[in-house]
Chain A
Amino acid sequence: MNELKKTILDYIRREYIEEGDERELKTDTPLITGGIVDSFSMVSLKRFLERKYTVKIPDADATPEVFNTVDSIVKLVERLSAVEV
């Protein structure tokens, strides 16, 4: 697993998983439709990504679909990082 995926997975575990919740979290685990992250609390994940990877995520990209798995989030960050560079 690459560093980017690991960092985002670690953040999601720390930020969203409640103590005692033993659900396995993988890069293809549905976050929004799986009830781990809701649209209300998604904003802290967006801010984390923007600060950590110095990218600006446009509102059009910050959708529940894109934020639904770590895999699709990684694709978004990689695309935006490439644009920034």
Chain B
Amino acid sequence: MATETLPATFRDVMGAELGALKAAGLFKEERVIHAPQGAEIEVEFPAGAPLKKVLNLCSNNYLGLSSHPDVLAAAHAGLDRRGYGMSSVRFICGTQDIHRELENRLTEFLGTEDTLLFSSCLDANAGVFEAILSDKDVMIADRLVHASIVDGMRLCKAAQDTFKHSDMGHLEEKLVEHADKRFRLVITDGVFSMDGDLAKLDEIVALCRKHDAMVFVDDSHASGFIGETGRGTPERFGVLGKVDVITTTFGKALGGASGGCVSGRREIVELCRQRARPYLFSNTLASVIVAATLKVLDLVSATTGRRDRLEQNARIWRRLLTEAGFDIKAGESPIVPVMLYNAKLAQDVARDLFAEGVYVVGFFFPVVAKGQARIRTQLSAAHTMVHLDRAIEAFRKVGKKYDILGKSKNEIVERYGL
């Protein structure tokens, strides 16, 4: 039996580590959904509990396209026409006409020079830095960039540095400090996933122009809906075509299945095609996802109706929360964090909201900074006014129970601690 080959202490050591995670309140349990992704879903939680119909305020289904009939039809057609699997990496025998078609469509959509598909944006971020930079260069990242960027940077031999979140003065200090490097790449998220705030991309591009540095943006929480026609943060800040590298995902607004890309300067993308290890050593993106993503691009290019609806929902939700007396992070994105500061309070409020039929998740250290625990709510174009009214009713009820409505940060911290 396999278990006989384990070192005698392995199960004890691993068991203790799992126990420590549970004791620290960091043990993650999956909630099983018995329905397609959508504004309302049926959830089994805890395991074995009867199904509960809840309003979903925690998915990245920003445009409501994850289960859209046109996207499903395109996926079915793609399956029929190009099959299920390619059983190959891209450069051996895994590139179909639709892979190239999607790359060209993304290049056009994002306003770049070329694009390369990856199995996920995590893979894109894991491969891009190592492919284009060497030990003669430096990567200077905003301190709140996504974990996949941090991992990708660790795989690259270039020097690393960071700047305080969205602090342009600090970024410029770093650009000057590293002026002796061959290339300097400034790295940021377009929309920061935990705070929902946008990078000051116009200022970052201007600073990089001034100091002859390059700009990298992960626009995963922006592609499809930020900017007047949903081209992302470069469009929102008037710097389309001026960002050297964009990575993004199809796993959020753009259909929500999986897949991602590196898009940007032709030479950068070509070097990724030659060297990026997740591209070279991982299977091609499944044809069914490629076909569905092409349809998603058709839908988001044909009308701005969905991103306009999402923008309106986010504005209404922010107003409802503020009027109810919640302390929220200001911003313009559909990520709306409700600040609770105390980790246990965030978990208790999330649990009570679930009981009230609203599915949200509490986030706390180490996912966010200590003393910054929160519930992250995320809006979708699939939410209706009826949904938002129901959600705010539940939030009001739970907020009242914990006596946090109309309370300042200091008052919440005084009562619940940090």
Residues of A within 8 A of B (CB): 16, 18, 34-35, 38, 40-41, 43-44, 47
- Contacts of A41 on B, CB cut-off 8 Å? 143, 162
Q: CA–CA, A34 to B160, complex, Å?
A: 23
Residue on A nearest B372 in the bound complex, by CB:
A35
Residue on B nearest A44 in the bound complex, by CB:
B161
Are A40 and B370 within 8 A (Cβ)? no
Q: Which of A18, A35, A38, A43 contacts B160 (CB 8 A)?
A: A43
Q: Which of A18, A34, A35, A40 contacts B162 (CB 8 A)?
A: A40
Assuming A34-B370, A35-B370, is B162 touching A43 (CB within 8 A)?
Answer: yes
Q: CA–CA, A48 to B161, complex, Å?
A: 11
- Contacts of B371 on A, CB cut-off 8 Å? 35
B150 interface hit (Cβ, 8 Å): yes
- Give B323-377 interface residues, CB cut-off 8 Å to A: 365-366, 369-371
B400 interface hit (Cβ, 8 Å): no
B75 to chain A, nearest CB (A): 37
Q: CA–CA, A44 to B178, complex, Å?
A: 12
B164 interface hit (Cβ, 8 Å): yes
- Contacts of B165 on A, CB cut-off 8 Å? 18
Residue on B nearest A33 in the bound complex, by CB:
B370
- Which range contains the number of B residues in contact with the other chain? 10 to 19
Assuming A35-B370, A40-B143, A40-B150, is B161 touching A18 (CB within 8 A)?
Answer: no
The 8 closest A-B pairs by CB, nearest first: A35-B370, A41-B162, A43-B160, A40-B150, A41-B143, A44-B161, A35-B369, A35-B365
10 more CB-based (< 8 A) A-B contacts, given A40-B162, A41-B143: A16-B164, A18-B165, A34-B370, A35-B365, A35-B366, A38-B143, A40-B143, A41-B162, A44-B162, A47-B161
Q: CA–CA, A40 to B148, complex, Å?
A: 12
- Contacts of A35 on B, CB cut-off 8 Å? 365-366, 369-371
- Contacts of A34 on B, CB cut-off 8 Å? 370
B159 to chain A, nearest CB (A): 8
- Give B356-410 interface residues, CB cut-off 8 Å to A: 365-366, 369-371
CB<8 Å pairs between A and B, sample of 22: A16-B164, A18-B164, A18-B165, A34-B370, A35-B365, A35-B366, A35-B369, A35-B370, A35-B371, A38-B143, A40-B141, A40-B143, A40-B150, A40-B162, A41-B143, A41-B162, A43-B160, A43-B161, A43-B162, A44-B161, A44-B162, A47-B161
- Contacts of A47 on B, CB cut-off 8 Å? 161
- Contacts of B160 on A, CB cut-off 8 Å? 43
A71 to chain B, nearest CB (A): 20
A50 to chain B, nearest CB (A): 12
- Contacts of B150 on A, CB cut-off 8 Å? 40
Q: CA–CA, A14 to B162, complex, Å?
A: 13
Q: CA–CA, A58 to B371, complex, Å?
A: 33
- Contacts of A40 on B, CB cut-off 8 Å? 141, 143, 150, 162
Q: CA–CA, A27 to B162, complex, Å?
A: 23
Residue on A nearest B153 in the bound complex, by CB:
A40
Q: CA–CA, A7 to B301, complex, Å?
A: 55
A30 to chain B, nearest CB (A): 10
- Contacts of B365 on A, CB cut-off 8 Å? 35
Q: CA–CA, A38 to B366, complex, Å?
A: 10
Residue on B nearest A36 in the bound complex, by CB:
B370
